[in-house]
Amino acid sequence: MSIPKRVESRLCEGLKRFQTIVQGAVARDVNETDTVTIVKDFCSEILGYDKYTELTSEYSIRGTYCDLAIKIENKVVSLIEIKAVGIELKENHIKQAVDYATNLGSEWAILTNSNNWKIFKIHFKQPIEAEMLYEFNILDLDCKKEDHLEKMFMLSKEGLGRGVLDSFFTQKRATNKYILGAILSSDIILKLVRKELKKLNDDIKVDLETIETIIKQEVIKREILESSEFQDAQKKISRKKRLQNRTNDKLDETKKENLVPPQQ
């Protein structure tokens, strides 16, 4: 993830100041109104949004009001639901933030109390699902750590504006535990494992079913195997395999046609 130097400088310089501000707010246990002010200033001074044209407080959504809306080119790209700094972020708060985003049709929802930040990806299917992409505590962030900077950068105007959050989500989805679990239990990997076992001992005789059973019962966690995400990952791999087989079949047919000598 490439962060422009000027943006990195803004993030680092502003972070130190806002960490002090948030620490003071926590100590004073400030109310929600004051917390909203801190978050709005953070979005403006650190994340780079124009306070007057790109940040809207009390954004109206079907008769309700979300604490803060982020706009880029006059389009709402994310909503932020804000709780008082001393309030622990719980499931009912997450539901509120997700409901706001769902009703607006926004694919991103953010929940924060100025200290803890949770970023959610909304999946518009039946039923609606919200997946927490990542979270962080602003007091724990360290500019010397690249992944800490990236967590702020993805929410910045420069990052959100160029789709860095989407790219991060795609990468995370492609390497999650369900995909890896499905790959580990796929036929091609099982055959590779059997091949490697034979290299260790020429006399060993083990079938694919035995290897699959051991992997599923003793290597991969049960919670992964029994999840709907694992089933979806298996289907995705099967679709890719069928598509690749059809492509290979077409290539083979083309090769055969090219080998047939032209009629005289």
Same domain, 127 and 13: yes
Same domain, 213 and 136: no
Higher pLDDT, 80 or 244: 80
* 170, pLDDT greater than 70: yes
Q: CB count, 10 Å around CB of 23?
A: 13
For the stretch 52-102, pLDDT in tens is: 999 999 999 988 999 999 999 989 999 999 999 999 999 999 999 999 999
Residues 178-182 have a mean pLDDT of 74
Residues 27-44 have a mean pLDDT of 95
* Residue 263 covered by a domain: no
Which pLDDT score is estimated for 139? 94
Which pLDDT score is estimated for 237? 73
- Pair 59, 65: CB distance under 8 Å: yes
Which pLDDT score is estimated for 120? 94
Higher pLDDT, 140 or 264: 140
* Residue 168 covered by a domain: no
* Residue 216 covered by a domain: yes
Question: 208 vs 99, 188, 195, 203, CA distance in Å?
Answer: 46, 10, 10, 16
Q: Smallest Cα–Cα separation from 103: which of 54, 154, 69? A: 69
Which pLDDT score is estimated for 260? 56
Same domain, 97 and 156: yes
Same domain, 139 and 190: no
Same domain, 185 and 152: no
* Residue 62 covered by a domain: yes
Q: How confident is the model at residue 263 (pLDDT cuts 50, 70, 90)?
A: low
For the stretch 120-129, pLDDT in tens is: 999 887 888 8
The domain boundary residue, chosen from 123, 139, 162: 162
* Percentage of the residues of the chain whose pLDDT score is greater than 90: 52
CATH (domain of 23): 3.90.1570
Same domain, 40 and 81: yes
Same domain, 200 and 154: no
Helix (H) or strand (E) holding 29: none
* Residue 169 covered by a domain: no
Which pLDDT score is estimated for 256? 66
Which of the given ranges, 67-76, 197-206, 249-258, has the highest pLDDT on average?
A: 67-76
Same domain, 157 and 184: no
Same domain, 137 and 13: yes
Higher pLDDT, 92 or 168: 92
Q: Which residues have C-beta within 8 Å of that of residue 50, sequence separation ≥ 6? A: 44
Distance from C-alpha of 91 to C-alpha of 132, rounded to nearest angstrom = 12
The token pair that represents 177 in the structure block = 């535990």
* 262, pLDDT greater than 60: no
Distance from C-alpha of 116 to C-alpha of 100, rounded to nearest angstrom = 19
Which pLDDT score is estimated for 96? 93
| Mean pLDDT estimate for the chain | 86
Same domain, 216 and 119: no
Which pLDDT score is estimated for 123? 86
* 176, pLDDT greater than 70: no
Same domain, 90 and 215: no
The domain boundary residue, chosen from 110, 129, 162: 162
Which pLDDT score is estimated for 252? 67
* Residue 167 covered by a domain: no
Full residue range of the structural domain in which residue 202 is found:
177-258
Which pLDDT score is estimated for 113? 96
Domain count, the chain: 2
Same domain, 181 and 142: no
The domain boundary residue, chosen from 117, 138, 162: 162
* Residue 172 covered by a domain: no
* Residue 264 covered by a domain: no
Q: What is the DSSP string of 145-166?
A: SHHHHHHHHTTSHHHHHTTHHH
Q: How confident is the model at residue 185 (pLDDT cuts 50, 70, 90)?
A: confident
